[in-house]
Chains A and B, each alone.
Chain A
Amino acid sequence: MTNILKKSVGAIVAALLLTVIPMLPVHAASNGLGITPRKNYTLQPGAHVTDTLYINNLNKTQALTVSLRLVDFSAKNQTGEPNLDLRANASQTAWSIKPFVNMPGSVTVPGGQAVNVPITISVPANQGAGSYYSAVEYTAQNTPGQQNVTLAASSVSLLFVTVPGHANEHMQLQRFGAFVPSSDGTSGSFSSLFFTSTPSTLAYVVQNQGSVAEQPTGSILVKNMFGKQVKVIEQANPKTQLALIGQTRRFEACMQQRNTVAKSASGQDQTNVVCESPHLMPGRYTAQLAVFYGLNGNTNQEIVGTTSFWYLPVWFLVVMVIVLAALTLGIYLLQRKLRNRTSAAASKKRKK
């Protein structure tokens, strides 16, 4: 009885202690950020550039205090998703631009306004040719609370610096074929047989083994089984995507692409790339890839590849089965008729 009483008291005390502090008043600081997501620079060794970073406070009344810091990144997967190294003591990557950049550590943006934060990038005179990149992380500063979950918002601008000259440029084609992308466009799978829908996307995977973040460009020809050219994909890298140093990157291209530009609800021009059905006839198709890469003045490198895929829609297979069945039946009936005729003739002979 004493034990039960002790346990009950303990449970009540524990429940009371687990109770959290009531919520504080709403924090009066903005964390709405509008930023430029990517910037590219080409700088000779020894050169420098002064530019600005655009930060827009999306809250019309509350001030936005943003801390800025440089973080290094690599590729997270075969897409263009950056893998940010946000550790405070993270070691610098070989391609980091941290030593080149000078910018303020924080900035305050009044409500509803935008500022252009100055940034200077200086490339040392002895810097080797290649690509160098890091990201600027903008963190809206909140007051840490003792609440259950404190929220913080952060955005990044990716900064790419190309130092021209003779650099090690090498990419290797790993895969090329018809591709079925996921609905959000971030993943998908290769396939060489299509039964339900026309293949609308071709993709190739390359591994970047050089010291330059490469942006391959080129085209893809699609031919039918008679060797006739049925599609030309003029932009094999339609979104001008990059393969980072060391990354295995997948590039996708629509067989028939439609670009739509519309004004978004937020007032931005929204360009959407839509892969339309290429209206292929059933059969086997061959695609020929030719993409090029290389810094200005460097030897152009070429990646070539060939792949094939079948488009055999279900309706076509059903028709084929019916036709084959009809043919088989026809041959069977013909054979039977011939056999009957032969045996009838033979029996007639015997009777004679």
Chain B
Amino acid sequence: MLSFVVLLALPLLAHIPKATAGQLMQRSLLIASSVPSAVTNHEFTFTYESTTTVGSLMFEYCTTPLFQEACTAPTGLDVSGVTLQGQGGETGFSVFSATANQVILTRTPAAITQQTSQYVFSNAVNPSTTNTFFVRISSYASTDASGAYTDAGTVSNSTTQTIMISTEVPPILNFCVGLKIPGDCSTAEGDFVQLGDLNANFTSSGTSQMWVGTNALNGYSIDILGTTMTSGNNIIPPLTTPTQSAAGNQQFGINLRANTTPEVGTDVQGPGTAQPTANYNITNKFSFKSGDAIVAAGHSSDWQRFTASYIVNVNAAQPPGVYSTTLTYICSAAF
């Protein structure tokens, strides 16, 4: 254990080993067609940092960028049949060897004089899936890419699906609101919430429900938009911070919890992972601010039913009238 204590202090002395080689700079990869599995051209452009002798170049296609990591070939990629269609800057190269995910170019070793260079491979087969892939490029003094590299760098690119027109393109975001939603959205009923008679002696309350679910990987949020309750020019001020309901005061607010004072609402139901946001997730405290996110999920989330509880309080001086509002619940997936 003592040795462990001593070793615990070692990281203070530890350091990440740094490569002494140079970098390939201003790197880019232009793919003539980004369609998965397309037979296309891959054009590499970069600038050598070192001006030392270079006899070979290695282009290794991997699913990850770092040279320290083992290279896994992107699915479906095949560069075994590539030809060097063009070269600029440092020239004189020819294909030394080519495997499914690795191409080595060779030439008579010579010092770098034209630092910015381009190499174009034709007949490259793109990865078959819509994913990002990386090409680790390195230069060598040897003619067969053996020994330590002189310069190195990674480029990334991705294959993208062509536009598909179909009846249903996943992912899907499902959403509805209603006075009651006993089952899924097909059972939603009612567009209005009746809060009863407003009275300075007691709190008026009511509920509505939302049903939401998505398989979108980044999750979703629901915002609330609208005004507080108004009657002509008269308003019932909203609770801008979470506050307890107090009869005899002017208050309008909502939350998404099962409350006891007043007894209204239900906690979220369903197997999803979304939760009410902080200001709307406190039992017996209510709030309302137009534009607020009231529900958020950071991941894809199975269906859930949220119950919005509304409370309204007025004082004796509240001008009489019919007080109403329209609240729009906006559901959007995250990007």
Contact = CB atoms under 8 A, between A and B. Distances in A.
Interface in B291-335: 293, 296-300, 302-303, 310, 312, 314, 316, 318, 320-335
Contacts of B198: 18-20
Interface stretch (A92-100, A122-130, A261-269, A338-346): A261-269
Contacts of A184: 273-275, 296-298
A298 B28 CA distance: 6
A173 B158 CA distance: 22
Contact of B327 (A24, A137, A152): A152
B110 to A, nearest CB: 26
B175 A135 contact: no
A20 B323 contact: yes
Contacts of A160: 335
B176 A31 contact: yes
Interface stretch (B50-58, B100-108, B179-187, B243-251): B179-187
Contacts of B165: 51-52, 116
Contacts of A23: 192, 194
B174 A34 contact: yes
B300 A270 contact: yes
Contacts of B335: 38, 80, 82, 158, 160, 213, 241-242, 244
Contacts of A114: 167-168
A144 B191 CA distance: 9
Interface stretch (B77-85, B86-94, B149-157, B257-265): B149-157
Interface bin, chain A: 35 or more
Interface stretch (A102-110, A192-200, A204-212, A286-294): A286-294
Contact of B191 (A27, A79, A232): A27
Contact of B172 (A16, A19, A35, A229): A35
Contacts of A323: 1-2, 5
Interface in B212-267: 213-221, 223, 225, 229
A76 B213 contact: no
B129 to A, nearest CB: 13
A18 to B, nearest CB: 5
A151 B215 contact: no
Nearest to B13: A225
Contact of A146 (B43, B193, B322): B322
Interface residues of B, number: 114
Contacts of B297: 184-186
B334 A327 contact: no
Given A18-B199, A18-B320, A33-B175, A265 B192 contact: no
A23 B326 CA distance: 15
A46 interface: no
A90 interface: no
A32 B305 CA distance: 13
Interface string A139-151: 1101111111111
A79 B277 CA distance: 14
Contact of B190 (A27, A156, A185): A27
B148 interface: no
Contacts of A293: 156
Contacts of B271: 264-265
Contact of B174 (A32, A234, A302): A32
A225 B195 CA distance: 63
B177 interface: yes
A319 interface: yes
Contact of A225 (B7, B210, B275, B320): B7
Contacts of A272: 273, 299-300
Contact of A185 (B2, B298, B303): B298
Nearest to B196: A20
A155 B331 contact: yes
A176 B88 CA distance: 38
B206 A148 contact: yes
12 contacts: A18-B199, A27-B192, A36-B169, A147-B192, A155-B331, A184-B274, A186-B277, A226-B7, A239-B217, A293-B156, A320-B1, A327-B2
Given A14-B320, A232-B64, A298-B28, 14 more contacts: A54-B167, A58-B174, A76-B293, A86-B225, A148-B310, A150-B325, A158-B333, A186-B296, A239-B217, A239-B218, A265-B213, A266-B213, A271-B217, A284-B8
Q: Top 7 A-B pairs ranked by shortest CB distance?
A: A185-B298, A37-B333, A17-B320, A80-B334, A32-B185, A32-B176, A58-B185
Interface of B: 1-2, 5, 7-8, 10-11, 14, 16-17, 26-31, 34, 43, 45, 63-66, 68-69, 132, 134, 154-158, 160, 163, 165, 167-179, 184-186, 188-199, 206, 208, 210-211, 213-221, 223, 225, 229, 270-271, 273-275, 277, 293, 296-300, 302-303, 310, 312, 314, 316, 318, 320-335
